[in-house]
Structure 1
Amino acid sequence: MRAYGFKSNGGPEVLEEIRVPTPAPGPGQVLIEVAYAGVNFAEVQHRRGEFGEPDGHGGYDVPGLEVSGTVVALGTGARGPAVGEQVAAYLPGFGGYAQFAVADRDFVRPVGPLPPAHAAGVPCVYPTAYGVLTDAGRLRHGETVLIHAAAGGVGSAAARIARALGAELVLGTVGSPEKAELAGALGYDALFAREGFADAVVEVTAGRGVDLVLDPVGGPVRRASLEVLAPFGRVVGYGDLGRHADWTADVWDLWKNSRSIAGYNIGDVARRSPATIGEHLSRALTALASGTLPYDPPTVVTSAEVAEVHRRFEAGGTRGKTVLRIGGPDAV
Structure 2
Amino acid sequence: MRAYGFKSNGGTEVLEEIRVPTPAPGPGQVLIEVAYAGVNFAEVQHRRGEFGEPDGPGGYDVPGLEVSGTVVALGSGAPGPPVGEQVAAYLPAFGGYAEFAVADADFVRPVRGLPLASAAGVPCVYPTAYGVLADAGRIRDGETVLIHAAAGGVGSAAARIARTLGASRVFGTVGSLEKAEQAAALGYDALFIREGFADAVQEATAGRGVDLVLDPVGGPVRRASLQALSPFGRVVVYGDLGRHADWTADVWDLWKNSRAIAGYNIGDVARRSPATIGDHLSRALSALASGALPHDRPAVVPWAEVAQVHGRFEAGDTHGKTVLDIAGRGAV
TM-score by length of 2: 0.99
d(CA) in 2 for partners of 1:265, 1:65: 13
Provide the rounded CA distance (Å) in 2 between the counterparts of 1:255 and 1:228: 15
For 1:83, the equivalent position in structure 2 comes to 83
Tell me which amino acid in the other structure corresponds to 1:28. Answer: G
Following the alignment from structure 2 to structure 1, what is the Cα–Cα distance between the partners of residues 330 and 315?
A: 31
- Aligned-partner SS, 1:13: helix
Q: Percent identity?
A: 86
Please state how far the C-alpha of 1:176 moved relative to its aligned partner.
1.5
| Paired residue secondary structure (2:52) | coil
Q: Residue type of the partner of 1:321?
A: K
Q: CA shift at 1:183, angstroms?
A: 3.9
* Rounded Cα–Cα distance in structure 2 between residues aligned with 1:331 and 1:178: 25
- Unmatched 5+ stretches in structure 2: none
- Paired residue type of 1:86: Q
Partner of 2:194: 194
Which deviates more, 168-177 or 259-268?
Answer: 168-177
Matched with 1:43 is 43
Matches within 5 A, 1:62-81: 62-81=62-81
**Where does structure 1 differ by over 4 angstroms across 4 or more consecutive aligned residues?**
328-332
State the SS of the aligned residue for 1:92.
coil
Aligned residue for 1:292? 292
Aligned equivalent of 1:104: 104
Q: Does the aligned pair in 2 maintain the 1:66–1:123 contact within 8 Å?
A: yes
Larger CA deviation: 181-190 vs 36-45: 181-190
Instruction: Give 3-state SS (helix, strand or coil) of 2:262's partner.
Output: strand
| 2:116 match | 116
Q: State the distance in 2 between where 1:130 and 1:74 align.
A: 28
**Residue 69 of structure 1 contacts residue 328 of structure 1 at CA under 8 Å; is this kept in 2?**
no
Aligned Cα root-mean-square deviation (Å): 1.0
Q: What corresponds to 1:273 in structure 2? A: 273
Deviations 1:31-83 (A, max 9, x none): 00000000000000000000000000111000000000000000001113010
1:174 maps to what in 2? 174
Q: How does 1:147-226 map to 2 (within 5 A)?
A: 147-226=147-226
Q: Which amino acid aligns with 1:208?
A: R
Contact 2:182 2:319 in 1 (8 A): no
Unaligned runs of 5+ in 1: none
**TM superposition score normalised by structure 1:** 0.99
- Following superposition, the deviation at residue 187 of structure 1 comes to 1.6
In the comparison of the two structures, how many residue pairs are matched?
332
**CA contact under 8 A between 2:90 and 2:123: conserved in structure 1?**
yes
**Does structure 2 conserve the Cα–Cα contact (< 8 Å) formed by 1:39 and 1:321?**
yes
C-alpha distance in 1 between matches for 2:312 and 2:128: 22
Relative to structure 1, is the Cα distance of residues 328 and 304 closer, same or farther in structure 2, using a 3 angstrom cutoff? closer
Shift of 1:177: 1.1
Deviations 1:173-215 (A, max 9, x none): 0111101113441121111111111111111111100000000
Q: Offset of 1:113 from its aligned partner?
A: 1.0
Residue identity in the other structure for 1:5: G
Q: Which amino acid is 1:261 matched to?
A: I
Structural mapping, 1:283-322, within 5 Å? 283-322=283-322
